[in-house]
Chain A
Amino acid sequence: MNEIWAGILSAFRLIFALDADLVEITLRSLQVSLTALIIASLIALPFGTWIAIRRFRYRRATIATLNALMGLPPVVVGLIVYLLLSRSGPFGVLGLLFTPTAMIIAQVIIITPLIASITHQAMRDLWAEYHDLLISLNTTNRQRIITLIWDGRRALLTAALAGFGRAIGEVGAIMIVGGNIDHATRVLTTAIALETGKGDFELALGLGFVLIALALAVNFAIHALTKTEREGRW
């Protein structure tokens, strides 16, 4: 018991002393997951909105595929990206395996369907609500999309946050494609796995607290957003 307390104490000491390793790993985690989030959002937000308001031939199939992709186990995504980027794979020449870029690619694949799916649901409801009015007011396609995105911005932000939460806490895929290399591809989750294995609980716990704080912050933000949405405060 004492050992655990000692571990927690030194973990906080690491955090408040801004331990170099801890800061480096945290910053890399943020860099990878935020980059993945931006790329995924750029794809998923317009795509989710588009399938919500546009009727096209394979719409149902597209939505079903999206939902299926959302359930894809991250480890499998990691494996597939690994095979694609490995030296003998189709993109082997790019030499991306075991780089942050590879980790970003894997995370983009993991969170894009999630963000697109949440976006689609929110935008579909909003479009059903606004449809008649926007048609009646003779809006252009551009005006419609801007109106929907603006009035649905909370839902879109929620979708993005959910994606970020999933990305920052993911371990399987980035372990495979990143390789958990010190000073290169080591991020919060992979470092925790490694340090725990080594028995260095101080750093593992320190990193764990940072990760928890990030996850909590994301959840609070989502909660606050959905609450203002429900109560209709603007």
Chain B
Amino acid sequence: MAMSMELKDVTVKRRGKAILGPIDLNLGATGITMVIGPNGAGKTTLLKVLHGVERVSDGTIDWAQPADIARQGQAYVFQSPIMLRRTVRQNLAYPLQLVGVSKSEIETRVTAWAERIGLGDALDRPAPRISGGEKQKLALGRALIRDPDVLFLDEPCANLDGRSILDIEALLLEAHASGTRIIMTTHDLAQCRRLASEVVFLLNGRIHEQGDAMGFFANPKTVEAQSFLKGDILL
């Protein structure tokens, strides 16, 4: 069951400088939220704060349940995929082993997910040796295999070709349809239009706009969002 998340007055500082915030953010229990903004806006930092793995200098985060229980139901796909130095099969199995799923159940789920991410033939290859795009798919499969309540994705489609992007979007929509709350970042505005139910627009560590996707694209309220959508380079 997905949970709502609430940030109050959250600031992340590194070396005395605020790289995120202060921000307030309320995320409902359903939908696909897209976090967009230029490089260095703080998208990755925001996602990690929401996941509870980023040290916060100020403010509070509320998951409507204790932090570690909330994290147990969350999965995170990192901007650059982290591969365990094991086979594709063992990478998929790892999150399940951690929570003590039975061997036969692991076997079934791993085989099924390998097929879904198009790595059915690569199960016994060492994960660090597969291609960049395959790593991204594997990271997604490994995140979804525990059927998370909330899924965070940091640029899951960067460097992928059209075919792979559609494959991944299909998996995301499927997960969403079966009740997974999705919060992701992207640089691809077309993808944002295709998937988002809600948009959070970040600039210089601050939330400039948050609202439902239709409204955001039809009628962006801030000047910055308007020029970002036009493709202007924001400084």
Contacts and interface: CB of A to CB of B under 8 A. Distances in A.
A130 B68 CA distance: 19
Given A232-B126, A233-B126, A138 B68 contact: yes
A136 B129 CA distance: 23
Contact of B86 (A126, A132, A133, A151): A151
Interface string A222-234: 0000000000111
A17 interface: no
Contacts of A196: none
A232 B71 CA distance: 31
B98 interface: yes
A167 to B, nearest CB: 29
Contact of B85 (A132, A135, A136, A232): A232
Contacts of B135: none
Nearest to B84: A151
Contact of B82 (A133, A233, A234): A133
Q: How large is the interface on B (under 10, 10 to 19, 20 to 34, 35 or more residues)?
A: 10 to 19
A133 B78 contact: yes
Contact of B95 (A132, A137, A151): A137
Nearest to A152: B85
- Per DSSP, chain A at the interface is helix
Given A132-B82, A234-B85, A137 B129 contact: no
Most buried by B among A132, A137, A139, A233: A137
Contacts of A147: 84
Interface residues of A, number: 16
B82 A143 contact: no
Contacts of B211: none
A139 B98 contact: yes
B72 A138 contact: yes
Contacts of A182: none
A96 B86 CA distance: 46
Given A132-B53, A133-B82, A137-B98, A234 B87 contact: yes
Interface of A: 126, 129-130, 132-133, 135-139, 143, 147, 151, 232-234
Cβ-closest 10 pairs across A and B: A133-B82, A136-B76, A232-B126, A151-B85, A232-B129, A138-B71, A232-B128, A234-B126, A135-B53, A138-B72
Interface of B: 51, 53, 68, 71-72, 75-76, 78, 82, 84-87, 94-95, 98, 126, 128-129
27 contacts: A126-B85, A129-B82, A130-B82, A130-B84, A132-B53, A132-B78, A132-B82, A133-B82, A133-B84, A135-B53, A136-B51, A136-B71, A136-B76, A136-B78, A137-B95, A138-B72, A138-B98, A139-B98, A143-B98, A151-B85, A151-B86, A232-B85, A232-B128, A232-B129, A233-B126, A234-B87, A234-B126
